[in-house]
Amino acid sequence: MKKILALIISFSLLAHTFGQRATPALKITHLTGDFYVFTTYHDYKGTAFPSNSMYLVTNKGVVMFDTPWDTTQFQPLLDSIQARHHKKVAICIATHFHEDRTAGLAYYRQQGISTYTTRMTDSLAAAHNAKRAARLIDKDTVFTVGQYNFETWYPGQGHSPDNIIIWFGQQRIIYGGCLIKSVEAKDPGNLSDANVKEWPATIHRIQKKYKHPNFIITGHQDWLSKNALEHTLQLLQEQDNKKGW
């Protein structure tokens, strides 16, 4: 009986270990051309929940959009980028003040990386004791880094008061962060700082301004579908019906 019990415990431990290893600490996926999505994981409601960010490789260095949510992956990400592309990260832009976007700003600033947020994000970060960037964006801005141009745009309130998106016109990529929900999402997620009444109008503005995107990178979960904007509106409508906002 003791031997059987020992075997059961051993198999349970192995299964637990295997389950832990099944979720990588850092996942880097090629998107298109010089664009890559990186995913880290953080405990959310008892599960390892994926958080998507992105980076762009230019001939003037790498541009990172948002930071890892998992604080243990700040340096491993830099190491992976260096090993894969033989380049250093030059710029990091965070798209709103929550920690799944800003957690690494102070660390990357210490590494000599130019960190950016909007002035609104910086004010909210200061108020919530979140990590802050060294440089501030005062208005919608077109950045030119090496051979690439991209636009930061504030479409209005939604997931948070300050959420911006990044638009890559030539490649027709919308980097939406947490403002845009994955088609895997069953609900609008964290609403602690959301403006649920304005959120649908914000999504409609994105749809009107940036038509026919080739890729829509969402802040969490699967990012392969082009229907993420429509799905976000559907989730908000369903939530509205339930809550009667």
Query: Which residues are annotated as catalytic?
Result: 96, 98, 100, 159, 190
Q: How many CB atoms lie within 10 A of CB 30?
A: 10
The DSSP bridge pattern shows strands 135-137 and 114-118 to be parallel
The one-letter amino acid at 64: M
- The angle subtended at Cα 196 by Cα 190 and Cα 197, nearest 5°, is 175
- Nearest CA among 130, 106, 132, 110 for reference residue 119: 132
The one-letter amino acid at 60: K
Structure tokens at 210: 């940036």
Burial class (CB in 10 A: 0-12, 13-18, 19+), 207: middle
List, edge to edge, every strand of the sheet that includes 141-145: 141-145, 148-153, 165-168, 173-177, 215-218
Structure tokens at 95: 């798209």
Phi, psi of 108 (to 5 degrees): -70, -30
For residue 143, the cross-strand partners are: 150
Tokens 């929550």 appear where? 98
- Nearest CA among 208, 211, 205, 204 for reference residue 226: 211
